[in-house]
Structure formats: structure tokens, C-alpha cells
Structure 1
Amino acid sequence: MPDFLLSQILVTFTLIIECFAMQLKDKDRILALLSLSCLFNGLHYLLLDQPTAGYIFLFSSIRFLLSIKWKFQWMAAASLCVSLFITIYTYTGLLSILGFIATVFITTGSFSKNDKFLRLMMILGGSLWLTHNAILWSPVGILVEVIFVGSGAIGYYRYYLAGKLKMSQQD
């Protein structure tokens, strides 16, 4: 099986997991599912000869699991340092930079104790990964990020905006 086809199959698992994850309310469950999705996504990038994205996602799989239990800011900083090291060590150009910046948003959100902030950071980071995947031309990867960002926006709306809109309409 060609590497490109296998990469698209693996990222399809990411797609399915992330669609479900972003509709959950429980932040710990979201993070656990994102950990699993990062594993598949990392392998997808490695098959597409994108070592920065691949290793950042494999590390992110571990980072999401750690952030379920511990929300220490020093862990977020340490995670960002590891991601920066990965980026420098595997640097291949613009895609490496985009992936690192996206990771900064997502890491910051995942170590936050605030679900609302987590969702906003995931939307911002996902938007950068969408740009990354469009430049790379990973069709299912593009779809993953479109759905991830869209699903995150829908979840944000459901949990944080819809109630406010109802209350303002009742006034």
C-alpha cells in the first residue's frame, strides 16, 4: 500500500475521534480522545515525510494525557520547549513553523483549567493546522481540521453562547 494512501487511512481515524471529542462537555474526556487522535495524526504526518508535524503530534499524544491530571504551567512551558526542540531538530521550512505555532495555541489551551479557553485555543490552533494541511495537500488532513475547527466552534456555541442568546432574548 502506498504511503500516501496509508497516511490518509490513518488520518481518517483522527477525523472520527475528533468529531466525537469536540462535542463532549467533559474536558478530561476531550483531552483523552485528542491524545488518541494525535497518535494517528502523527503517524499520518511521518508517512508524508513531515517529521516536525509527525513528532509534534506523537509528543502531543503524551502531552494531552499529562494535561488531564496536571495543569501546572511549568508543564505547559516544558511541553512547549520540547515542541520547540522538535521543530528546530526536524525543521523543513514554513510547515515546521506553522505546526509549531499551532502547537503553542493547543498546548496553552490543554493546560488551562478553563474549558472555554481550551475550546478557543483549539479553534485557533486547528485553524493553523488547516493551513498547514492545505499547503501540504493532505485531503483527509484538511477535512480533519475543517471538521475539528467547525466542531469546536459548534461546541463553543452550544456551551457558551446559546444560553446567553436565550437569556438576552427573554429580556
Structure 2
Amino acid sequence: MSDFLISQILVTITLIIEFFAMQLKNKNYILAALSVSCFFNGIHYLLLDQPTAGLIFLFSSIRFLVSIKWKFQWVSIASLCISLVITITTYIGLLSIIGFVATVFVTVGSFSHNDKFLRLMMIAGGTLWFVHNLILWTPVGILVEAIFVSSSFIGYYRYYLTNKPIKPLPPTYKDN
């Protein structure tokens, strides 16, 4: 079995986990699910000879678990620094830059206390990973990010855009 085929099987596991993760309401459950999905996604990228993305995702697996327990800004900054070191030491071009910028959004969101902000940052980061995967041409990886971004938006819509009270329009006064 080729490395490419194995990578697509592993990223299918990521797909299944991420499809359900963003529909969860509890932020810690979302982060735990994303931790597991990042592990499989990281191996997927390493099999595709993408060391920056692979190591960033393997580190992200740990980072998501850490962010469940500790929301300190210094931990977020340390995580961003580690991701930057990974990017610099494994730099292979545009894909490394896109992956790092995507990781900035996801990291900032994962250390936030605000679920709404987390979802918005996941949408931004996921969109950049989608672009990354298009350039790399990893078909299931493209599908993963398309579903992740869609699911994130649906979760955001369900929890933050529906059931909002509609403000009545101010009365209009006609001149007699």
C-alpha cells in the first residue's frame, strides 16, 4: 500500500472526528476531539512529505489538550513560538507559511475562554488549511477542511445566530 493511500485513510479518520467535533456545545469536548483528529492529520501530512504541516499537527494534538486545562496567555504565546520554530526548521515554501498562519488562528481560538470566538478562529484557520490542502492536492484533506469549516459555521449558526430575539423596528411617525 502506498504512502499516499495510507495518508488518505488516516485523514479519513480525521474527517469523521472533525465532522462531529464542531457540533458539540462543550468547548472542552471540541478541543479533546480536535486533539485526536490532529494526531491522525499530522501522520497524514508526514506521509505526504510535508514536515511543517505534519509536525504542527502533531504538536497541535498536544496543544489542544493543554488548552483544555490552561488558558493562560503565556501558554498560547509559547505554543505559537513552538509552531514558529517548527515552521522555520522545516520550511519548504508557501505551504509552510500558509500552515503557520492557519495555526495562529487555531491557537488563538483554542486558548480563548469564549466559545463563539473559538468557532470564528476555527473557521478562519480551517479556511487556510483548505487552501493549503488544495495546493498540496490531498483529496481527503481538502474534504476534511471543507467539512470542518462547514461544520464550524453550522455550529456557530446553531448556537449563536438562531433563536436570537428579533428587535422590533422603531415606530415611524407620519407628518400630518
Give the TM-score range, shorter chain. Answer: over 0.9
Aligned to 1:168: 166
Report what 2:68 is aligned to. 68
User: Identity over aligned residues, as a percent?
Assistant: 75
Post-superposition offset of 1:169: 7.4
- Amino acid across the alignment from 2:102: A
Match of 2:30 in 1: 30
Q: Does 1:129 align with 2:129?
A: yes
C-alpha distance in 1, partners of 2:110/2:73? 11
Q: What is the rounded CA distance, in whole Å, between the counterparts of 2:14 and 2:21 in structure 1?
A: 10
Work out the CA distance in 1 between the residues paired with 2:110 and 2:123: 12
User: How many corresponding residue pairs?
Assistant: 169
Larger Rg: 2
TM-score by length of 1: 0.97
Instruction: Deviation per CA, 1:76-116: give whole Å up to 9, x if none.
Output: 00000000000000000000000000000000000000000
Q: Tell me whether 1:94 sits opposite 2:94 in the alignment.
A: yes
Counterparts of 2:18 and 2:166, CA distance in 1? 32
Give the CA deviation at 1:163.
1.6
| Alignment correspondent of 2:173 | none
In structure 2, distance between residues paired with 1:97 and 1:33: 25
Aligned to 1:111: 111
- Structure 2 distance, partners of 1:163, 1:9, is 39
Q: What is the alpha-carbon distance in structure 2 between the residues aligned to residue 80 and residue 169 of structure 1?
A: 41
| Structure 2 Cα separation of the partners of residues 32 and 161 of structure 1 | 25
Paired residue secondary structure (1:59): helix
Describe the superposition over 1:40-61 as per-residue Cα deviations: whole angstroms up to 9, x where unpaired: 0000000000000000000000
Q: Distance in 1 between matches of 2:139 and 2:168?
A: 44
Displaced runs of 4 or more, over 6 A = none
Task: Extract unaligned runs of 5+ from structure 2.
Answer: 170-176
Amino acid at match of 2:144: V
RMSD between superposed Cα atoms in Å: 1.0
Cα deviation, residue 153, structure 1: 0.1
The letter for the 2-side match of 1:162 is T
- The residue number in structure 1 matching 2:152 is 152
CA distance in 2, matches of 1:110, 1:63: 9
Distance 2:126 2:161 in 1: 20
Quick one: distance in 1 between partners of 2:29 and 2:163?
23
Specify the alignment match of 1:120 in structure 2: 120
Greater helix share, 1 or 2?
A: 1
Structure-to-structure mapping, 1:9-24, within 5 angstroms: 9-24=9-24
Shift of 1:170: 7.9
Give the corresponding residue for 1:39: 39
For residues 163 and 127 of structure 2, the distance between their equivalents in structure 1, rounded to whole angstroms, comes to: 25
Classify the secondary structure of the residue corresponding to 2:166: helix
Deviations 1:118-138 (A, max 9, x none): 000000000000000000000
